[in-house]
């Protein structure tokens, strides 16, 4: 393999390529919130499967997804450069299987027997195994798509200014996806009470009949957006800037040796600790529906309880954009990415701890006000954190790649060699951590605890503990990235 003599300016994303690149993650996140997050509610409150069984399934899928992340990252780094590119082909490979499993999750061939389900949550093996299998397959193909998209970014956006632009648009779209995505389960829950949505009731029959169609609709839209992302990614620079002889493929030993590069990167390990602990804490967001139903709406007339679900949509949209624009304004005046990320973490810790006030029964209006301030701050700041974490990740990859540049390896080759390993390890650690967190919450909320107001309140407030760990890692991360 020889170095290219072609001089070129840093690659950046603008126009269609910028919008197209961010659409894939936008649509995936939209479907994750609109459909995937409701699948747990579907199995626990409609099919009456014990929450522990569902949580174990989530943990299994996350652990398998974790190891898949490592393998996918190594596979991407070691892939030949083909006509369609180095990473782009894997985006296409994952689309159709992912869509199929997205729908099958709501079509279990066997459900808990009526006489058992009417007595309470059931540990029914056939339904459990179906949920586990489909969740694992969906996670694997989703991982393939997402790492393929994420790992190419350091190569197609090479300046910090452009990476901030990508992060800003991605965060903006992620907020829109979160509001639109959560609107569906919130509106559905406002009309169909969780306490009367068991599969043998009329409400339960409605949910079972519409969810496969909803999953297919959101899934199809997501596949279209992912295809647009595929079209927007230009990997022709591999041919233009690097005269690659595909015969010089790295051996398996060399590939696994490359995986040690991010592990040995001390700054990356601290970043990973901060990122993983903060992101895995967001598992608690899947308890938003029962929290509203059994905590905020407990003892209220049906009209007021339903109003809270609809109010969540307005509150979510407003607080996320208020905090998004605040952090955009603040970061324009204070350039330190790590310092700004640390401040976000502090805000979330304080707001999450204040959520314990819901252990006390309060007036309806006061409840809404405190809910808006506390949970609105948690939502707004957690979504805005990617304004800083994403550029930091890509800068760390760039800095590590500089150590690999020599007479036979240029910057593009170096980044191409390690970016999959960096993103794969990040996805691995996040999946393992999220799996552990999911299992813990599953144990805590199993059986009747899934409807206990005190338990659900403490689950929501527990985000503060993981963000404290994130704060510890960030305070030790000494990088000058502005």
Question: For a pLDDT cut of 90, what percent of the chain falls above it?
Answer: 21
State residue 254's pLDDT score.
58
Please report which confidence band the pLDDT of residue 274 belongs to, taking 50, 70 and 90 as the band edges: very high
Q: Per-residue pLDDT tens for 153-185?
A: 878 887 878 888 888 888 888 888 888 887 877
What pLDDT, on the 0 to 100 scale, is given for residue 341?
93
Give me the mean pLDDT over the 108-126 stretch. 83
Mean pLDDT value across the chain: 82
Please check the confidence at residue 101 and state whether its pLDDT lies above 50. yes
From the number of C-beta atoms within 10 Å of its C-beta (0-12, 13-18, 19+), residue 279 rates as buried
pLDDT greater than 70 at residue 115: yes
318, part of any domain: yes
Confidence of residue 423 (pLDDT cuts 50, 70, 90): confident
Q: What is the pLDDT of residue 5?
A: 41
Confidence check: pLDDT of 264 > 60: yes
> Which alpha helices (H) appear in 293-385, and where do they start and end?
302-333, 337-354, 364-384
In this prediction, residue 247 carries a pLDDT of 40
The answer to whether the CB of 237 falls within 8 A of the CB of 11 is yes
Q: Name the 3-class secondary structure at 49.
A: strand
Structural domain range at position 88: 15-476
**Residue that wins the pLDDT comparison between 344 and 397:** 344
pLDDT band at 259 (very low <50, low <70, confident <90, very high): low
Is residue 281 included in any domain, yes or no? yes
Q: Which of 47, 49, 60, 48 is nearest to 106 (CA)?
A: 47
Query: Phi and psi at residue 122, in whole multiples of 5°?
Result: -120, 140
Q: Is residue 2 part of a domain?
A: no
Which residues sit opposite 190 in a β-bridge?
none
The whole-angstrom separation of Cα 114 and Cα 112 is 6
Retrieve residue 347's tokens.
């805000």
- Kindly tell me if the per-residue pLDDT of 25 is higher than 60: yes
CB 19 within 8 A of CB 165: no
**120: its two tokens:** 């309470």
Asked if the model's pLDDT at residue 273 lies above 70, the reply is yes
With cut-offs at 50, 70 and 90, classify the pLDDT of residue 245: very low
Tokens of 323: 């905090």
294 has a pLDDT exceeding 60: yes
Q: Model-level pTM?
A: 0.72
Tell whether the model's pLDDT for residue 478 goes beyond 90: no
User: And the tokens for 102?
Assistant: 């997205």
- CA torsion, points 250, 255, 257, 258, in degrees to nearest 10? 100
Res 406: pLDDT:
63
| Residue 242 confidence (pLDDT) | 52
Nearest to 71 by CA among 376, 412, 428, 389: 428
Select from 307, 36, 46 the least CA-distant residue to 191. 307
Q: What is the pLDDT of residue 460?
A: 92
Name the residue with higher pLDDT: 380 or 34: 380
Q: Are residues 410 and 1 in contact, defined by beta-carbon separation less than 8 angstroms? A: no
Half-sphere exposure (Cβ direction) of 166: Cα atoms closer than 13 Å: 31
| CB-based contacts of 138, cutoff 8 Å, min separation 6 | 61, 98, 101, 102, 105
C-alpha to C-alpha distance for 479 and 392, rounded to whole angstroms = 9
Give the residue-averaged pLDDT of 194-220. 85
Q: Is 9 within a domain?
A: no
3 located within any domain: no
Which residue is associated with the tokens 């701890």? 353
Q: Which tokens go with 289? A: 């529906």
Query: Rounded to an integer, what distance in angstroms lies between the CA atom of residue 2 and that of residue 243?
Result: 6
Give Cβ neighbours of residue 254 (< 8 Å, ≥ 6 apart): none
CATH number of domain containing 193 = 1.20.1250.20
What is the per-residue pLDDT for 4? 42
Is 5 domain-assigned? no
Q: Is residue 182 part of a domain?
A: yes
Supply the pLDDT for residue 481. Answer: 62
Say if 206 falls within a structural domain: yes
Count of structural domains, the chain: 1
Q: Which residues are bridge partners to 131 per DSSP? A: none
Q: What is the pLDDT of residue 250?
A: 52
């Amino acid at each position: 393999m020889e170095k290219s003599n072609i001089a070129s300016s840093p690659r950046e994303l603008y126009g269609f390529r910028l919008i197209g690149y961010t659409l894939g993650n936008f649509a995936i996140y939209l479907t994750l919130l609109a459909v995937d997050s409701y699948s747990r509610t579907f199995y626990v409150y409609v099919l009456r499967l014990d929450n522990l069984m569902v949580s174990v399934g989530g943990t299994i899928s996350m652990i398998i997804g974790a190891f898949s992340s490592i393998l996918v990252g190594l596979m991407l780094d070691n892939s030949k450069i083909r006509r369609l590119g180095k990473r782009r082909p894997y985006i296409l490979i994952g689309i159709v299987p992912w869509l199929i499993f997205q729908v099958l999750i709501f079509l279990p061939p066997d459900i808990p027997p009526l006489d058992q389900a009417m007595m309470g949550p059931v540990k029914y093996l056939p339904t459990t195994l179906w949920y586990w299998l489909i969740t694992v397959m969906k996670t694997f193909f989703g991982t393939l798509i997402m790492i393929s998209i994420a790992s190419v970014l350091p190569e197609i956006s090479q300046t910090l200014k452009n990476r901030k632009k990508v992060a800003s648009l991605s965060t903006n779209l992620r907020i829109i996806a979160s509001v639109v995505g959560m609107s569906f389960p919130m509106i559905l829950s406002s009309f169909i009470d969780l306490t009367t949505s068991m599969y043998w009731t009329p409400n339960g029959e409605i949910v079972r009949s519409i969810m496969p169609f909803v999953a297919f609709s959101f899934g199809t839209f997501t596949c279209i957006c992912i295809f647009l992302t595929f079209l927007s990614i230009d990997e022709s620079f591999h041919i233009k800037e690097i005269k690659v002889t595909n015969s010089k493929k790295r051996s398996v030993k060399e590939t696994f040796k490359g995986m040690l590069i991010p592990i040995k990167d001390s700054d990356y390990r601290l970043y990973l600790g901060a990122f993983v602990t903060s992101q895995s804490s967001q598992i608690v967001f899947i308890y938003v529906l029962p929290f509203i139903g059994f905590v905020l709406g407990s003892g209220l007339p049906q009209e007021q309880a339903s109003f809270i679900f609809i109010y969540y949509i307005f509150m979510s949209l407003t607080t996320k954009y208020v905090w998004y624009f605040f952090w955009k304004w603040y970061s324009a005046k204070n350039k330190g990415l790590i310092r700004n990320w640390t401040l976000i973490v502090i805000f979330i810790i304080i707001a999450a701890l204040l959520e314990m006030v819901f252990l006390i029964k309060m007036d309806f209006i006061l409840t809404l006000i405190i809910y808006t301030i506390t949970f609105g701050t948690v939502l707004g700041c957690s979504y805005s954190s990617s304004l800083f974490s994403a550029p930091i990740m890509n800068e760390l990859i760039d800095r590590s790649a500089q150590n690999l540049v020599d007479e036979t390896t240029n910057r593009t080759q170096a980044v191409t060699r390690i970016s999959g390993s960096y993103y794969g390890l990040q996805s691995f650690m996040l999946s393992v951590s999220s799996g552990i967190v999911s299992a813990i919450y599953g144990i805590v909320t199993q059986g009747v605890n899934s409807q206990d107001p005190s338990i659900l309140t403490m689950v929501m407030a527990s985000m503060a503990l993981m963000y404290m760990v994130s704060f510890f890692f960030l305070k030790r991360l000494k990088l000058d990235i502005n």
